[in-house]
């Protein structure tokens, strides 16, 4: 291999771990890269023993390419490496999550992730929407959908009565007043022992208005999450993964 990887027999416990995985008839397990901050699934591929061993040792997502029938370190040609922060086998041990921090787009199409379209069953039948150039139909968690929705309100033409989000976007002073107000209401829920449901609702208010404020300043939720991750430390293969891309093995 192009990289300096210690043979599995020379790493204590590694052969036993690899033996414990449930390899398919071709000696592969599924490997799914997930973005540690946004939760997005980045890509899915397959890994053989060597790929799992190399990923653990280098902290770079490595697979077995079924088409090229060999080792495949994602990013070796594109420079779009995927740093793997931790590795997690599933209950029946035929699937691994590579919890990841990607460098650049994960998909060969140039899309941030390999999942960018949606199959929807409506009254007119099955319709697929989305493409690699747009994120509108990519699967996204609630927090990311909320951010996307606020951004869409910003771009949408205001026809007739503007939505509440559009009013906030057009009036930063109002947005700031609301953030202060909702923070106060979240505190009041605790101080007044208003109960968990009320607290959850006030936290939702505060989170939504904070996201509007971030949008006004061109800050992505992902940026905030990255700040939190860097403050609260990382785990797993973190030290290697913190290596800058230009020091990645080639």
**Residue in 28, 41, 168, 241 binding a copy of itself, rule: CB under 8 A:** 41
First CA to last CA across the chain, in angstroms? 10
> Contact at 8 Å (CB) between 206 and 183?
yes
- Distance (Å, rounded) from C-alpha 38 to C-alpha 130? 20
Any idea which residue has 């997502």 for tokens? 61
> Contact at 8 Å (CB) between 85 and 42?
no
Total residues interacting with Zn ion, rule: CB under 5 A: 14
Binding partner at 185 among a copy of itself, Zn ion, none, C-beta below 5 to 8 Å by kind: Zn ion
Count of C-beta atoms within a 10 Å radius of residue 228: 9
Q: Does residue 90 touch Zn ion according to CB under 5 A?
A: yes
Binding partner at 183 among Zn ion, a copy of itself, none, C-beta below 5 to 8 Å by kind: a copy of itself
Q: Does residue 217 touch a copy of itself according to CB under 8 A?
A: yes
Question: Nearest approach, Cβ of 249 to Zn ion (angstroms)?
Answer: 18
Identify residues 62-101 at the interface with a copy of itself (CB under 8 A).
Answer: 86-92, 95, 97, 99
Count of C-beta atoms within a 10 Å radius of residue 183: 16
Binding partner at 129 among Zn ion, a copy of itself, none, C-beta below 5 to 8 Å by kind: Zn ion
- Distance (Å, rounded) from C-alpha 60 to C-alpha 93? 21
Q: Does residue 191 touch Zn ion according to CB under 5 A?
A: no
Which residues contact Zn ion by CB under 5 A? 90-92, 94-95, 104, 107, 114, 129, 136, 182, 185, 202, 205
């Amino acid at each position: 291999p192009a990289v300096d990887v210690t043979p599995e027999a020379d790493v204590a416990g590694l052969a036993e771990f690899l033996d414990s995985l449930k390899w398919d008839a071709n000696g592969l397990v599924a490997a799914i890269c997930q973005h540690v901050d946004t939760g997005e699934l980045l890509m899915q591929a397959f890994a053989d023993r060597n790929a799992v061993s190399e990923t653990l040792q280098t902290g770079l997502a490595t697979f077995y390419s079924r088409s090229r029938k060999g080792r495949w370190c994602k990013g070796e040609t594109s420079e779009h490496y995927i740093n793997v922060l931790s590795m997690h086998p599933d209950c029946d041990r035929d699937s691994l999550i590579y919890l990841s921090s990607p460098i650049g787009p994960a998909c060969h199409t140039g899309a941030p992730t390999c999942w960018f379209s949606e199959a929807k069953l409506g009254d007119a039948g099955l319709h697929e929407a989305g493409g690699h150039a747009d994120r509108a139909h990519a699967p996204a968690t609630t927090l990311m959908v909320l951010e996307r929705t606020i951004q869409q309100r910003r771009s949408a033409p205001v026809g007739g009565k503007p939505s509440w989000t559009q009013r906030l976007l057009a009036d930063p002073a109002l947005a700031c007043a609301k953030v202060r107000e909702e923070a106060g209401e979240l505190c009041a829920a605790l101080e007044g022992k208003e109960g968990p449901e009320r607290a959850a609702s006030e936290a939702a208010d505060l989170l939504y208005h904070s996201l509007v404020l971030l949008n006004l300043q061109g800050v992505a939720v992902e940026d905030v999450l990255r700040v939190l991750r860097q403050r609260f430390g990382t785990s797993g293969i973190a030290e290697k993964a913190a290596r800058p891309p230009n020091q990645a093995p080639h």
